[in-house]
Amino acid sequence: MNYKPPYAITSAIVSLIAEISEKLGQLSALKTQENSLYLRRINRIRTIQGSLAIEGNTLTEAQITAVLDGKAVIAPPHEVQEVRNAIKAYEKLTKWRPTSQQDLLDAHQTLMQGLIDDVGQYRNTGVGVMKGKQVMHMAPSAERVNGLMFDLFDWLACSDEHPLILSSIFHYEFEFIHPFADGNGRMGRLWQTLILSQWQDIFSYLPVESLIYAHQDDYYLALQESTKQADSAPFIEFILQMILNSCNEDTPQVIPQVSPQVKRLVSVIKGEMSKEELMLALSLKDAKSFRQRYLLLAISNNLIEMTQPDKPNSPTQKYRLV
């Protein structure tokens, strides 16, 4: 390994890693197989909405949920395509290797299919990072991209740095290089999630990107400051703070404190399902028991909803995740 990105380990970074590690231990103790499926769905929707919103996508969490369930959504076609692509990308997340450039190119093809022409390949023209009409960063020339990406992946494969630091540095360096004609922001965030989820599975459903979207100006400022200092420490500190905020503020609030029966019900729902379909999926025959111990409790805990709430007893009534 010849290349080493420039970065300093500040006291703030050390403190943030300690806090995140402590919080991850607490969250892992709370996680169960049953609520994991529910968390992944809810937080993945938030992650997709946050990451795409940074790039200008206007679809809401409700609309993204509808796309995930295969429903028609009234929205600009390219924005719906962005959502569909992101859903596919996160579904394939566990199949990609963080240190493989070929997997990175495959991920870019998945994420940008139907949106640009040059999917799954590095750019051959110059690009800049824009905010409105302002140039925030001019990326290295196209002729340097292959070499820079080789060096970055070589460092990623050989470094023994802590995964929280490693993933943040990769994210910054990736954005600095800007290797693709388009889609660099969402790819950089996706790949940091991949690196972290290989270390701790809990990162596959922490909605860090929704917090980055909420602090979008700070995100760009951290990128700028790191470039100005030729040191990715400001960006590392920002990303670690977003991860800590996600641990503190988001996941504990969505862990459902409900009965095992309700958790089982939530885990089997796919799209919209009738009462009979749900009972079959759960291998249940007692309709009264199912209604009292599963259905009503799940509705009261705001975990599922009726497709016809104004006609609760309709024979065509179905249920879906909130």
CATH, residue 299: 1.10.10
Are 231 and 286 in the same domain? no
Are 191 and 222 in the same domain? yes
Are 250 and 269 in the same domain? no
Closest CA to 75 of 92, 46, 52: 52
> What average pLDDT does the chain have?
88
In a domain, 5, yes or no: no
Q: Domain ends where: 195, 229, 254?
A: 254
Q: What is the DSSP letter of 136?
A: E
User: For the chain, how many structural domains are there in total?
Assistant: 2
pLDDT value at residue 37: 62
What does DSSP say about strands 128-131 and 134-138: parallel, antiparallel, or unpaired? antiparallel
Q: In DSSP terms, which residues pair with 319 in a beta bridge?
A: 273, 306
Are 114 and 37 in the same domain? yes
HSE-CB at 189 with a 13 A cutoff on CA atoms is 30
In a domain, 6, yes or no: no
The answer for residues whose C-beta is within 8 angstroms of residue 97's C-beta and 6 or more apart is: 103
Token readout for 267 is 């885990």
Q: Which amino acid is at 126?
A: G
Q: Domain ends where: 221, 239, 254?
A: 254
pLDDT value at residue 115: 94
Residues in the chain, pLDDT under 70: 1, 29-39, 130-132, 249-258
Distances (CA, A) of 124 to 114, 127, 142, 151: 19, 9, 5, 18
Are 46 and 152 in the same domain? yes
The answer for residues whose C-beta is within 8 angstroms of residue 29's C-beta and 6 or more apart is: none
Token readout for 97 is 């290797």
Burial class (CB in 10 A: 0-12, 13-18, 19+), 276: exposed
Are 209 and 287 in the same domain? no
pLDDT value at residue 300: 74
Are 283 and 249 in the same domain? no
In a domain, 4, yes or no: no
DSSP H or E segment with residue 129 = strand 128-131
Are 249 and 104 in the same domain? yes
CATH, residue 106: 1.10.3290.10
pLDDT value at residue 228: 93
The label of the residue with tokens 């051959």 reads 124
In a domain, 224, yes or no: yes
In a domain, 308, yes or no: yes
Compute the distance between CA of residue 271 and CA of residue 257 in angstroms, rounded to an integer: 23
pLDDT in tens, 163-190: 999 999 999 999 999 999 999 999 999 9
Are 294 and 202 in the same domain? no
Q: Domain ends where: 254, 276, 296?
A: 254
In a domain, 3, yes or no: no
Q: Which amino acid is at 173?
A: E
Backbone φ and ψ of 17, nearest 5°: -65, -40
Token readout for 105 is 């190119």
The label of the residue with tokens 């970065």 reads 7
Distances (CA, A) of 91 to 65, 186, 254: 14, 15, 21
Token readout for 98 is 């963080």
pLDDT value at residue 78: 95
Are 225 and 301 in the same domain? no
In a domain, 1, yes or no: no
| Residue 293, domain extent | 260-321
Are 238 and 173 in the same domain? yes
The answer for residues whose C-beta is within 8 angstroms of residue 98's C-beta and 6 or more apart is: 156, 191, 194, 195, 198
* 3-class state of residue 39 by DSSP: helix
Q: In DSSP terms, which residues pair with 130 in a beta bridge?
A: 135
Q: How many residues does the chain have?
A: 322
The answer for residues whose C-beta is within 8 angstroms of residue 219's C-beta and 6 or more apart is: 54, 212, 238
pTM of the model: 0.76
Are 50 and 193 in the same domain? yes
CB 60 within 8 A of CB 217: no
In a domain, 140, yes or no: yes
